[in-house]
Amino acid sequence: MSGIAVSTTINGDDVEFLCQAEETLLEVLRDRLGLTGAKEGCGTGDCGACSVLVDDRLVCSCLVLGAEAEGRNIETIEGMADGDKLHPLQRKFIEHAALQCGICTPGFLIAAKDLLAKNADPTEEEVRFGLAGNLCRCTGYDKIVRAVLDAASEMRGA
């Protein structure tokens, strides 16, 4: 077996997997670990649909090798809600209809969470530039921006 043994933490759980050297973290998440919330829209870092956090750093999981997950702390969309309690961003996305087809939604939510962690009170322009790495083809971004601003407001109040 030419596989690489990797021990990592995903959404707080210890996870071990074997992968081939050229496999990306996105492929490992989706095809080996059944975590299909991160999507492959392009595979080249241009759409953001595969966004995850690695050691609190926002990345495209299509541009990370699975082997690089060794010893890291990875957070995916599957870990965003607290049990049955949705994260405020998740709730606001539903309330504002900030999703239509929904394929970009997991990536947007992860990127928005990272954005608000760094800037709790962003302007509309900061939200737009902060989320420019996530493509959405359905909404025209209007309702996404509103949802993020509203979630930020609620999270500051909480």
Partner 1 sequence: MDFDPSYTAQQFKSVGTRPLRPDGVDKVTGRARYGADFNMPGQLVGRVLRSPHAHAIIRKIDTSKAEALKGVKAVVTAADLPDLTDGDADLYAILSNCMARDKAFYDGHAVAAVAAIDARTARRALKLIEIDYEVLPHVTDVDEAMKDSAPLLHESVFTDGVDPAPAKPSNVARRSQYGHGDVDAGFADADMVVERTYRTEQTHQGYIEPHACVASVNNDGTGELWVCTQGHFVYRQWCADLLGMDVSKLRVTSSEIGGGFGGKTHVWAEPVALALSRKAGRPVKLVMSRDEVFRASGPTSATSIDVKIGAKKDGTITAASATLRYTCGPWVGMWAELGAMTAFAPYDLKNVRTVGYEVLVNRPKVSAYRAPSAPMAAFAVESAVDELARKIGMDPVDFRIANVAKEGTRASYGPVYGPIGIGPTLEAVKEHPHMKAPLGKNQGRGMACGFWFNFGGQTCTDLNIGADGTVTIAVGTVDVGGSRASLSMVAAEELGIPYEQVKAIVADTSSLGYNDMTDGSRGTFSSSMATISAARNAIRIMRARAAQMWGIPVEDVVWEEGHAKAAGAKHGNLPPLSVREIAAAAGNTGGPIAGHSELVADGAGVSFATHICDIEVDPETGQTRVLRYTVVQDAGKAVHPTYVEGQYQGGAAQGIGWALNEEYIYGKDGRLQNPGFLDYRIPVCSDLPMIDTQILEIPNPNHPYGIRGVGETSIVPPLAAIANAVSNAVGVRMTHIPMSPPRILAALEAE
Partner 2 sequence: MEYVLPASLNDAIGLLAGAKGNAFVLAGGSDLLVRMKGDFIEPDLIVDIKGIGELAQIVQTADGFTVGSAVPCAVMGENTALRKAWPGVVEAANLIGSKQVQGRCTIAGNLCNASPAADSVPALVAAGARAVIAGPSGKRTIAVEDVPTGPGKTSLAKGEIVEAIVLDKRPSNSGDAYLRFIPRTEMDIAVVSAGVNLTLGADGAVASARVALGAVAATVLLVSEAADAIVGTRLDDTAMEKLAQACSAAASPIDDKRGTVHFRKKVAGVLATRAARIAYERAGGK
Question: In the complex, which residues of this chain contact partner 2 (CB under 8 A)?
Answer: 4, 20-22, 24, 43-46, 48, 51, 54, 57-60, 62-65, 67-68, 70, 111, 114-115, 129-130, 132-134
Task: From 115, 73, 108, 75, select the one nearest 90 (Cα to Cα).
Answer: 108
Nearer to partner 2 by Cβ, of 31 and 68: the residue is 68
Q: Quote the CA–CA distance of 5 and 3 in Å, as a whole number.
A: 6
Nearer to partner 1 by Cβ, of 64 and 149: the residue is 149
Residue 137's contacts (CB-CB under 8 Å, 6 or more residues apart) are 101, 104
Residues that bind partner 1 (CB under 8 A): 20, 22, 27, 30, 35-44, 46-47, 49, 76-78, 80-81, 86, 90-91, 93-95, 97, 99-106, 109, 124-125, 127-129, 131-146
DSSP 53: E
Helix (H, G, I), strand (E, B) or coil at 135: coil
The one of partner 1, partner 2, none whose footprint includes residue 93, by CB under 5 to 8 A per kind, is: partner 1
- Looking at 5-135, list the stretches that DSSP marks H as alpha helix, in order from N- to C-terminal side: 25-27, 88-95, 105-118, 124-130
The one of partner 1, partner 2, none whose footprint includes residue 26, by CB under 5 to 8 A per kind, is: none
